[in-house]
Amino acid sequence: VSASALPGSNLMTPRMIKAPCSSCLRHTRHHILHAVDKSTDEDGDDRYLMLECAGCETISLANFYEGDI
């Protein structure tokens, strides 16, 4: 996953990241459709992204822990 696309995202403009696609069976470019940050505890946060593959248009949900991004 391209970490540079995640922090401080402004979803008013289309954002893209590289992520694995379960339909294409490889890493592809994905449109970030929606992002939600959730504070899990004092150790970190989770970020949930709704993604759409730019190739096959499959919708998926990705979860990143603060240490991943």
Closest CA to 34 of 54, 4, 1, 59: 59
| Spatial separation of the C-alpha atoms in residues 32 and 39, rounded to whole Å | 20
* One pLDDT digit (tens) per residue for the chain, 69 residues: 444 445 444 445 568 999 999 999 999 999 999 999 888 666 678 889 999 999 999 999 999 877 555
SS3 54: coil
| Spatial separation of the C-alpha atoms in residues 40 and 52, rounded to whole Å | 25
Supply the pLDDT for residue 67. 59
Question: Which residues are bridge partners to 49 per DSSP?
Answer: 35, 62
Question: Which residues are bridge partners to 65 per DSSP?
Answer: 46
Supply the pLDDT for residue 3. 40
Supply the pLDDT for residue 68. 54
| Spatial separation of the C-alpha atoms in residues 58 and 52, rounded to whole Å | 6
